[in-house]
Structures are given as structure tokens and as C-alpha cells.
Amino acid sequence: MTALLNPTENLTHLGAALRTAFDGPYAAERARAREELPAEHLLRDPGLTMEQARAWTLSRLGELQESGFGAAGVPQSSGDAGDPLAAVMTFEALAYGDLSVTIKSGVQFGLFGGAVANLGTAWHHDTFLPQITSLRLLGCFAMTELGHGSDVASLETTITYLPDTDEFEVHSPTPAATKAYIGNAACHGTMAAVFGQLMVDGQGHGVHTVLVPIRNDDGRDLPGVTTGDQGHKGGLQGVDNGTIRFDHVRVKREMLLDRYGRVDADGRYSSPIESPNRRFFTMLGTLVRGRVCVSAGGLVAARRGLSIATRYALQRRQFPAAGRPGGVLLLDYLTHQRRLLPLVARAYALGFAQNELIQALVHVQGGGEHSDREQRELETRAAGLKAMSTWFANEALQASREACGGAGYLAENQLTGMRGDADVFATFEGDNTVLLQLVTKALVTDYRQLWGELDRAGVVQATAKQVGETVVEWTAAGVLMERLVANTRRRPDDLAMIDRAWQAWAFTERERHSLESLARRMRAAARSQGDRFEAFNRLGDHVQFVARAHLERVVLEAFVDGIAACQDPEARAVLEKLCSLYALSSIDADRGWFLEHNRISSTRSKALGEQLNLLCRELRPHALPLVEGMGVPEGWLGATLLEE
């Protein structure tokens, strides 16, 4: 793999303006990352064996750490509050390069370091953070078990307090309790943050986390610890995922990460959070940054793939045609435009939404004041956007691969490697299907609270319509969107399809109506006799639909806000079209729903396809600036096919 240098880019005026708009509130941070990220060993040689890939990834981590692209944002001591923005920006920057490095960095600093920082207290911070941030102590985030992935509350590992010796005993009672898919566990980790059921004096206090040394410095398992190597995977060969099993392993009492639950020297358990349920979700809530980061990583990978495929389509010619004896440029084929440009539009849309997610994270975790509701909304938003972004990444990378034909299949063109790496993003840090369930659950909970209050007030029947609009006001919180929709309520079909007001109305209707009808069906299910599980289970596809409808609206809103913030008139005009391409593609994909619910006429629905074609044709001349705007320096793409 040739060395790649930091880019000196010659962007078009429009490309530069789009990039400024797209980088949004973080334009300065992102520009700095593009300048300062050490790019000498950005991409990994696909010919490395797994062992070599792991060693390369580890050494690359050290190199990045020395350049300030490692533990940035992770606090160094008990007096340090950390910097969530720096952490997310660093993760995002690393995603320009090999994703094994990105994920291994995330395991070490984000998950392991994050567990110590967020779940531990001063002694843990001062004792371990300096070693973690300097890479002297490599660690594991040992949550998932072979038998328990999404269902963290059911973890079987036990953390039992032993009063006689003032120690905790960590134990895996069954094979299913074996920790699995744990990064750093197969080779490099010498300590693990182990999640398990805390037992004190015969009483269970739910899931807590304890630090357990697992390996000697010479790499051998410590007594009572059995690690396993999970070997080759669909990608991320540089990350050493493995299993850990504990056989009555003892650690000092101090090793419990005790911010949300501690055991004192007299063996008494206490917690600042009374409710075990709330305590559990508070602890899990600290994971939110991981989801924000994975979403960012997926989006960067998608932008890298789309940049390669679109640039290739701007240089590759296919069949000769009338007036084009040298062959037609791939991107001049309408079918090719329809394959790539809506994905570019969605990449922008999700990127704007990601910017808002980062802002919410910084608000909640930045050390200032924030409400419980804001924390909860951040968690819901992060879960949902992680699902949307990572599924999108896989779709965009696959489409990019196919759009490059046989060349796209060669490892030297980067697409299959990224596709293999990003694949697992759809199921780690929360399975996407389960995450969408969480999103809908949060929406329905809020909806029910509202409904319940109105119900108690005796106003439900009389003002059913108004209830609907109240819900919309909560769900469609953005001022711009609200104004757009408000202007449109009367006769939506009078508006042009490219009118943002009509699109906003359609997105809002899809969300509101599907949420209301789900809430109705859930109330009926709750009243039903018989198998309660089955009664709710039958709503499964409706639950997924509501989450998507909600998130699409959130994303459109972010796009609208992003355009409003754009100062350059030319960039703004292109973004307006791109936003329509995103919005109408989303409506087109669900046009069955819009027709069924009489939210769109047959005539308008039939015209959608032509409108999408037209938008693609109008955006086609701006394809290069649009790629530049996505922010991946051309020199970092590392795809041989662009050199021909």
C-alpha cells in the first residue's frame, strides 16, 4: 500500500461551499482533522494475515495516539471532565482510514476508557485513565455474552461480594455466560470491564461493572481466566475479538466501578439511584457516545464509497451512442444516476442529522445543565440514527461496489473491504432492529403520557383532532419544519412536489398517523385476553415503520436546518434540489402507504418517478462538487481505479 499524504485539495468553488455547509457547526474541527491526521499509513494492505493485521492495527493506534488522534476527549484524571466533541471528532477522522483502527480505538478509548470514566469514580480515574489513554493498559468492554446479546438485563455473569476477604468474585456460571465478540480479548487486552449481576449478601442488585485483570504482560491468561480467539470475521480483521470466561476470579473491592452502586467496607450496598430499573438504564445511557460514534463511522464509510463510485462514473465510458462515439459516461446513464445520486442525497441528509446528534451529545455530556428529558431524547435519537446510518452505509457501499463492476470487487479499490468492515455496524452497539423498537417505544411512551393526561382531563373525545396536532408539535419540534407544515395544512395537493412545505407535510403525516394508529393498536393489545406476548408481537412491522417514519422526519428537519444555515447562494440552490431528491426518494419508497392513506393522489404518485429523474438530471452537472462537499479528500480514497 503506497503511503498517502495529507491532501492539498483544489476544490471547485461550489465543492468548497458545499463542504462548508455540510461540515456545519464543526467545519473548523473537521478541516483541522483533514490537515493533521497522520496519513502515512491510512489504509491497510489487504494481503496481511490476520496476525499481521492485528499487529499493524495496534502499532497504528500508537502512532495515532502520539499525534493526538487517540484518546482525545477521554479524561486523564479525576479532575478532568473530558471532551465529548473531541472524542466524536477523533472517531470520525479515524474512519477516513482503516476501519479496524477506528474500531479498535473505539474499544480502547470509547468503550473501555469510557466505562472507567463514566461508571468509575476518582480512584479508578486517577489509577487507570493515565495508563489507558497512553495505551500502557489495553482493555476490553466485556458486556455481551454468548447467550445474551441485545438482552443486557439477562447477563449471567455474577459479581459476588465476599465479606470474609472484602473481595468480589467474578464468575461465568454457564457456557452461555461466556463473554463473546469482545474486542481486545483475543490478544491485546490485559484488563476487562466486566458487566455482570452484582450479588451482595445473597441479594441481587442488577447489572454492575467491575475491572478484572485477565492477562499477564507476557500475554498468558491469569488464573481462573480463559480467553478464546474468535478468529476471522467478515471484516475488521485488525480487531482481535474473542471470548472470556471466568472461573471464580477474585478482585479487590475497589475494582467495582462504583459511580452508580457501591459496596462499602462493611459490605453494605448503596446507590445514588433508588430504582434498580432507572439505575440500569442510567448505566446503559453512558453507552450513548458509542452509538453516536458508530453512526459517524458508518456515514464516513458511505461517503468514501460514494465518492469512489461517483468519481469513477465521471471518468468511465460504456457503450457508444448517438452523438457519443467515444462511449457514454457512466454517470450520463439515467439508471446510473438513479443508483448513485439518491444515495448521495441521503448521505448529505444523514450527515446533517449527525451534526445535530453531535450537538445534542455535547449539550448533554459537555458538563453543563441538561434535563432528564434531553438525556432520554439523546439516547433515542442516537439509537435511531445509528440504525439508519449503518444500514445506509451497507446499502451505499454495496451500490458503490456494483456501480464499479469488476473493478469494484478488487481489494485495491477499497469498496469490498469497507463493505466487509461496516457490515457488523448493523448489529453491534445494538442490533438495528432492536434499536428501532427502542425508538418507537420512546415515542409511544411520550405519546401515552400526553394522551393519558388529556384523557384524565376528559378532553380526548372532543378534541381528537387537536390531540393529533399536539403530538405532531412534540414530534416535529423544529421551528422551520413547523412553519413549513403550518403553511400547508389546507390543500397539500395544490403544492408542487418540490415544494419543501409539501414534503414536510408528507413526512409529518406519515409519522403522526402511523404513530397514532400504533398507539391505538397497542391499547387494544393491552386489553386483549389470551397471549399478551402474541398480541404485541403482531405489531412488530408497524413498530419498525413508526421508527423509520419518525427518523426520516428528523433527518429531513436536519437537512432543512442545514440549508437555512448555508450562506453561499450557489451551494444553497444545489442543496435545495438535493434535499428534494432525498425527500421525494423517501416518499417514493413509501408511496404505497401514502396512497393507501389517501395522502397522495394516483396522479401525483405516478409523477414521482419522473420528478426523481428530473432532479437527477439537474444535479448531474454538479456531481463533482457534490462529491467534494462530502468531505473525503480525493487523495485519501486510495482506489486504484481512479488513477487510470
Of residues 519-558, which lie at the interface with a second copy (CB under 8 A)? 531-533, 537-538, 540-541, 543-544
Q: Which of 181, 246, 348, 559: binder of a second copy (CB under 8 A)?
A: 181
**CB count, 10 Å around CB of 464?**
11
Q: Which of 591, 622, 629, 631: binder of a second copy (CB under 8 A)?
A: 591
- 1 belongs to the binding site for a second copy (CB under 8 A): no
User: DSSP characters for 478-502?
Assistant: -HHHHHHHHTTSS-GGGS-TT-HHH
Cα–Cα dist 310/621, whole Å = 12
- Binders of a second copy: how many residues, by CB under 8 A? 80
Of residues 241 and 475, the one with the C-beta less far from a second copy: 241
Cα–Cα dist 610/56, whole Å = 50
Q: Which of 290, 408, 492, 631: binder of a second copy (CB under 8 A)?
A: 408
Of residues 269 and 391, the one with the C-beta less far from a second copy: 391
Which residues 108-127 are close enough to bind a second copy by CB under 8 A?
A: none
Q: Which of 18, 288, 424, 497: binder of a second copy (CB under 8 A)?
A: 424
Q: Which of 8, 10, 28, 47: binder of a second copy (CB under 8 A)?
A: 47
Which residues 82-101 are close enough to bind a second copy by CB under 8 A?
A: none
Cα–Cα dist 644/642, whole Å = 6
226, with CB counted inside 10 A (0-12, 13-18, 19+), is middle
Residues 447, 522 contacting (CB under 8 angstroms): no
Which residue pairs, CB below 8 angstroms and at least 24 apart, start in 639-642?
A: 639/308, 639/312, 639/412, 639/413, 639/414, 639/415, 640/410, 640/412, 640/413, 641/308, 641/312, 641/404, 641/407, 641/408, 641/410, 641/413, 642/308, 642/311, 642/312, 642/315
State in angstroms the smallest separation of the CB of 525 from a second copy.
12
Of residues 35 and 45, the one with the C-beta less far from a second copy: 45
- 266 belongs to the binding site for a second copy (CB under 8 A): no
- 315 belongs to the binding site for a second copy (CB under 8 A): no
Of residues 46 and 366, the one with the C-beta less far from a second copy: 46
Give Cα separations from 279 to 100, 124, 161, 234, 273 (angstroms).
33, 20, 19, 36, 6
Cα–Cα dist 171/472, whole Å = 49
- 335 belongs to the binding site for a second copy (CB under 8 A): yes
H-helix segments, 528-590: 532-537, 540-564, 569-589
State in angstroms the smallest separation of the CB of 595 from a second copy.
4
Phi, psi of 51 (to 5 degrees): -65, -45
Query: Interior CA angle at 335 toward 334 and 336, to 5°?
Result: 90
State in angstroms the smallest separation of the CB of 443 from a second copy.
17
State in angstroms the smallest separation of the CB of 187 from a second copy.
15
Residues 125, 146 contacting (CB under 8 angstroms): no
Of residues 16 and 539, the one with the C-beta less far from a second copy: 539
Q: Which of 78, 398, 470, 487: binder of a second copy (CB under 8 A)?
A: 398
Q: Which of 125, 259, 401, 553: binder of a second copy (CB under 8 A)?
A: 401
State in angstroms the smallest separation of the CB of 590 from a second copy.
8
State in angstroms the smallest separation of the CB of 584 from a second copy.
13
Q: Which of 9, 374, 402, 473: binder of a second copy (CB under 8 A)?
A: 402
State in angstroms the smallest separation of the CB of 338 from a second copy.
6
Query: Where does this chain touch a second copy (CB under 8 A) — which range of 32-40, 450-458, 602-610, 619-627?
Result: 602-610
Phi, psi of 349 (to 5 degrees): -55, -50
Of residues 2 and 335, the one with the C-beta less far from a second copy: 335
Cell 464509497, residue located: 305
Which residues 230-249 are close enough to bind a second copy by CB under 8 A?
A: 230-235
Which residues 430-489 are close enough to bind a second copy by CB under 8 A?
A: 431-433
- 204 belongs to the binding site for a second copy (CB under 8 A): no
- 205 belongs to the binding site for a second copy (CB under 8 A): no
Query: Where does this chain touch a second copy (CB under 8 A) — which range of 133-141, 428-436, 559-567, 624-632?
Result: 428-436
- 325 belongs to the binding site for a second copy (CB under 8 A): no
State in angstroms the smallest separation of the CB of 219 from a second copy.
19
- 368 belongs to the binding site for a second copy (CB under 8 A): no
User: DSSP characters for 305-366?
Assistant: HHHHHHHHHTT-B-S-BTTBTT--BGGGSHHHHHHHHHHHHHHHHHHHHHHHHHHHHHHHHS
Residues 579, 469 contacting (CB under 8 angstroms): no
- 223 belongs to the binding site for a second copy (CB under 8 A): no
Q: Which of 35, 201, 455, 596: binder of a second copy (CB under 8 A)?
A: 596
Residues 91, 110 contacting (CB under 8 angstroms): yes
Cell 444500514, residue located: 391
